[in-house]
Amino acid sequence: MDAHEKGFFTEENSVEVVTGRNKNAKDERLKQIMEVVTRKLHEAVKEIEPTQEEWFQAVMFLTRTGQMCNEWRQEFILLSDTLGVSMLVDAINNRKPSGASESTVLGPFHVKGAPELPMGANICLDQKGEDMVIGGRILDTTGQPIKDAVLDVWQANDEGFYDVQQQGIQPDFNLRGVFRTGADGRYWFRAVKPKYYPIPNDGPVGQMLDHLGRHPNRPAHLHYIIKADGFETLITHIFDPDDPYINSDAVFGVKESLLAKFRHTRDPDRARTYEFDGDFWEVEHDFVLARVGEKRG
Ligand code: BEZ
Ligand code: FE
């Protein structure tokens, strides 16, 4: 028996026997990861003591999760999202200096190649929904405006669907746009008030949520990716704090600092300048970017 072989498998020494087999792993990081995964997995199995039938159900659940995946549907990411793992990986990889805006999940509905638009453009291409104007500044952590910051924004419509979920119903690139700041660091654009929506829930992850008595909804939000030379890219959202699901986001993406103020505004003069028909919603939200290498606080 080689030194690394720990003898025959028993319930008691299961972790040592399995991890011992990886002694000659070609990749140290993989070896370390599999040591932790094996330890935690065996610990879970020992605590749960599943029946053979339950174990088979788990295997079939993962099988269906894989079978649900295709070019545009990633059921494993939805599983990671709904178990809070995506937000945990995001938190670990985006520890920010104090004052910098916080990140949250990217989600599956970002589309590369959205049109670059002039500041103030209306990204709602089908005139459906309640008008909204959104603006703010892109700043560094000392409060200085950032010029040439590029904002890539996207959102669901007021029925809770992204354009890519309603091809042929919504115009392509509806409620998407790319904006570049000037020297004042200011951005603004027009859109419609987003609404809460369910994450794709017609697969095994939706069934899991249902069995667990959980709803699949995400509170109303707008997505942002903000890039600027010399700064860490920020992937984030702003949320409507009055949304009915604000305290129970299906993917745990809400953070206190990402709650924006959505103000209902009646001002016919301003409405006219925005080419809105009547009342509108107004959101003002600044984002603060961390410099590459800036110390975390
Ligand atoms: C989204 O916000 O677009 C999203 C995030 C995670 C899962 C599904 C959708
Ligand atoms: Fe979203």
Distance 50 CA to ligand 1 centre (A): 32
Q: CA–CA separation, 216 vs 207, rounded Å?
A: 10
Check pocket membership of 108 for ligand 1, CB cut-off 6 A: yes
Distance 46 CA to ligand 1 centre (A): 34
Q: In the prediction, which pLDDT does 102 show?
A: 96
Q: Where are the alpha helices (DSSP H) in the chain?
A: 14-20, 28-48, 52-67, 75-82, 85-93, 204-211, 268-273
Distances (CA, A) of 118 to 151, 188, 277: 12, 9, 22
Q: Which band of pLDDT confidence, cut at 50, 70 and 90, is reported for residue 296?
A: confident
Contact 58, 50 (CB under 8 A): yes
- Most ligand 1 atoms within 8 A of CB, residue of 89, 105, 161 to mutate: 105
pTM summary value: 0.93
DSSP notation for 45-106: HHHH---HHHHHHHHHHHHHHHHT--SS--HHHHHHHHTTHHHHHHHHH----TTSPPP---
60-90 pLDDT, tens per residue?
999 999 999 998 899 999 999 999 999 999 9
- Ligand 1 atom at minimal distance to the Cα of residue 237: 2
Structural domain boundaries in the chain = 3-80, 97-289
Check pocket membership of 251 for ligand 1, CB cut-off 6 A: yes
Check pocket membership of 194 for ligand 1, CB cut-off 6 A: no
Q: CA–CA separation, 91 vs 104, rounded Å?
A: 8
Check pocket membership of 107 for ligand 1, CB cut-off 6 A: yes
Check pocket membership of 216 for ligand 1, CB cut-off 6 A: no
Residue 22 has pLDDT above 90, yes or no: yes
Residue appearing with tokens 């509905």: 109
User: Closest residue (by CA) to atom 4 of ligand 1?
Assistant: 107
Check pocket membership of 6 for ligand 1, CB cut-off 6 A: no
- Most ligand 1 atoms within 8 A of CB, residue of 80, 83, 218, 246 to mutate: 218
Q: In the prediction, which pLDDT does 7 show?
A: 80
CA angle 41, 45, 49 (to 5 degrees): 175
High-pLDDT (> 70) share of the chain, %? 98
For residues 2 and 163, the model is more confident at: 163
Q: CA–CA separation, 1 vs 159, rounded Å?
A: 65
Residue 6 has pLDDT above 70, yes or no: no
Q: Tell me the average pLDDT across 166-172.
A: 93
Check pocket membership of 191 for ligand 1, CB cut-off 6 A: no
Q: CA–CA separation, 107 vs 90, rounded Å?
A: 12
Q: Tell me the average pLDDT across 207-231.
A: 98
Q: Please list, in sequence order, all residues whose beta carbon lies within 8 angstroms of the beta carbon of residue 236, skipping any fewer than 6 positions away.
A: 101, 102, 103, 104, 223, 224, 226, 258, 287
Q: In the prediction, which pLDDT does 1 show?
A: 59
Q: In the prediction, which pLDDT does 161 show?
A: 92
Q: In the prediction, which pLDDT does 71 show?
A: 85
Q: Which band of pLDDT confidence, cut at 50, 70 and 90, is reported for residue 5?
A: low
Contact 209, 215 (CB under 8 A): yes
Q: Tell me the average pLDDT across 177-192.
A: 98
User: Closest residue (by CA) to atom 9 of ligand 1?
Assistant: 107
CATH class of the domain defined by 97-289 = mainly beta
Check pocket membership of 238 for ligand 1, CB cut-off 6 A: no
Q: Tell me the average pLDDT across 242-269.
A: 97
Check pocket membership of 190 for ligand 1, CB cut-off 6 A: no
Q: In the prediction, which pLDDT does 3 show?
A: 47
User: Closest residue (by CA) to atom 7 of ligand 1?
Assistant: 107
Q: Which band of pLDDT confidence, cut at 50, 70 and 90, is reported for residue 209?
A: very high
110-157 pLDDT, tens per residue?
999 999 999 999 999 998 999 999 999 999 999 999 999 999 999 999
Q: In the prediction, which pLDDT does 295 show?
A: 79
